[in-house]
Amino acid sequence: MTPREGYHFTTDIADYAIDWLHQHDAAAHDKPFFIYFATGATHEPHQVPKLWVDHYSGRFDRCWDVVRKEAFELQKAKSLIPANTDPTPRPDGLPAWDSLSDEQKKPLAHEAEVYTGFTEQTDFEVGRLLDAIHEEGQQDNTVIF
């Protein structure tokens, strides 16, 4: 199968790892196993099926400074970071969104859509593998890094 036909490396390795896990469970359920599951995400080039990118279409058109602030506040609200945490300053090499032209903003917003879609797709595929580990009853006998 080609990428145009729907092939994607992350899905392929998830399928392979899940199949391997089922075979291991059928042959030697009580024996330890090792799965090294290393995705290509989110290293460049960012490649992900279009449906994952489309989910974020337009989300980053507003302003990366606004999106960053919203994500930071959401993390505080969910107690993922301490409530008294201050945001780090914008890196020197990252210009303020408002300083960019519309011509500059469009590809940068799309790059963020692709990156975020790639991250979500990877999370989904990792979740499929974790579900398979659970289905095999190995979740309490598995270390995941």
What mean pLDDT is predicted for residues 119-136? 96
The confidence score (pLDDT) of residue 27 equals 95
Question: What count of other Cβ atoms lies within 10 Å of the Cβ of residue 9?
Answer: 13
**Domain enclosing residue 93, as ranges:** 3-141
The confidence score (pLDDT) of residue 59 equals 92
The confidence score (pLDDT) of residue 74 equals 97
> Which parts of the chain fold into alpha helices (H)?
9-28, 50-54, 64-77, 102-135
Q: What is the pTM of this model?
A: 0.83
Residue 84's Cβ-side half-sphere holds a number of Cα atoms within 13 Å equal to: 0
Average pLDDT in the chain: 92
pLDDT one-digit tens code per residue, 55-113: 999 999 988 889 999 999 999 999 999 999 999 998 889 899 999 999 999 999 999 99
Whole-angstrom distance, CA of residue 106 vs CA of residue 48:
19
- Structural domain count of the chain: 1
The confidence score (pLDDT) of residue 57 equals 95
| Coil/strand/helix, residue 31 | coil
CB 118 within 8 A of CB 42: yes
